[in-house]
């Protein structure tokens, strides 16, 4: 079974630009969560999608948004990038009910200049 994949792996943007990151969960997994990881703040929960609906949302500004497609692939978008958005963005998928284990992708390293 293929693992969680994220594209791109590395990204460099400038302030004010917008970015879209993609995540393909493990086949059969319907829940996808996104996290932002920075040295100062640690792992911060962004949002979770389940069956194309946002089920949970963390405490991030509206510049951060996401969506999930019918094949469970998910994208997150950050508009009007700020320097502080530089981080490792991790996506995780969760399997069927009763299994709470999250399977993480390798992450997308975003650098905002």
Partner 1 sequence: SQQGEEDPQALSIQEGENATMNCSYKTSINNLQWYRQNSGRGLVHLILIRSNEREKHSGRLRVTLDTSKKSSSLLITASRAADTASYFCATLTGNQFYFGTGTSLTVIP
The residues binding partner 1 (CB under 8 A) are: 4, 33, 35, 42-43, 45, 48, 55-56, 88, 90, 92, 100-107, 109
Burial class (CB in 10 A: 0-12, 13-18, 19+), 93: buried
Beta bridge partners of 22: 7, 75
Query: Which of 14, 54 has the CB closer to partner 1?
Result: 54
- 3-state class of 16 per DSSP? coil
Quote the least distance from Cβ 58 to partner 1, whole Å.
Answer: 8
Query: Which of 50, 79 has the CB closer to partner 1?
Result: 50
User: CA angle, 61 as apex, 108 and 75 as ends, to 5°?
Assistant: 35
Quote the least distance from Cβ 16 to partner 1, whole Å.
Answer: 26
Quote the least distance from Cβ 77 to partner 1, whole Å.
Answer: 21
Q: What is the DSSP letter of 59?
A: S
Query: Which of 45, 79 has the CB closer to partner 1?
Result: 45
């Amino acid at each position: 079974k293929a693992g969680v994949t994220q594209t791109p792996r590395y990204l460099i943007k400038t302030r004010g630009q917008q970015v879209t990151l993609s995540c393909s969960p493990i086949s059969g997994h319907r829940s996808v969560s996104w996290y932002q990881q920075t040295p100062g703040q640690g792992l911060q929960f962004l949002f979770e999608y389940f069956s194309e609906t946002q089920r949970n949302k963390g405490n991030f500004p509206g510049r951060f948004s996401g969506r999930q497609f019918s094949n469970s692939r998910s994208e997150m978008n950050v508009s009007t990038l700020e320097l502080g958005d530089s981080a490792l963005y991790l996506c995780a998928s969760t399997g069927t009910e009763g299994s709470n284990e999250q399977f993480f992708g390798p992450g997308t390293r975003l650098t905002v200049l």
